[in-house]
């Protein structure tokens, strides 16, 4: 099946990412000063295991809350989603990549 861009789903997705990732612990890391000695070096970890765990935990907690609200408290969900959407107006729309068996995206389906 050919994947197509649904503008409402794209806006919802971007809002959820802003709420779950951008406005979470990753913002604290992003707000710090860059490391000049390790900038651009992929052989050096830029995020500790503890920081990664905190980011993923916050994202899971936020996404669970959002999905729970979507099913159980739609008014609250729409209110928080509107906040997330205000923060993502300038973001790019998703690239349409079909998942493979392993879940990793394959080639773009935008064309």
Give the model confidence (pLDDT) of 23-81 as tens digits: 888 887 777 777 788 878 888 877 889 988 999 999 999 999 999 999 999 999 999 99
Residue 19, class by beta-carbon neighbours within 10 Å (0-12 exposed, 13-18 middle, 19+ buried)? Answer: buried
Looking at residue 54, what DSSP letter applies?
H
Tokens linked to 4: 């197509």
Report phi then psi at 102, rounded to 5. -80, -10
Query: Is pLDDT at 111 greater than 50 in this prediction?
Result: no
């Amino acid at each position: 099946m050919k994947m197509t861009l649904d503008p409402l789903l794209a806006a919802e997705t971007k809002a959820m990412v802003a709420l779950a990732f951008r406005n979470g612990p990753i913002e604290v890391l992003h707000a710090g000063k860059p490391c000049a000695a390790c900038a651009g070096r992929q052989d050096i970890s830029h995020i500790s295991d503890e920081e990664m765990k905190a980011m993923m935990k916050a994202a899971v907690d936020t996404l669970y809350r959002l999905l729970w609200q979507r099913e159980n408290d739609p008014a609250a969900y729409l209110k928080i989603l509107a906040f997330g959407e205000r923060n993502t107006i300038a973001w790019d729309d998703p690239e349409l990549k079909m998942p493979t068996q392993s879940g990793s995206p394959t080639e773009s389906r935008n064309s």
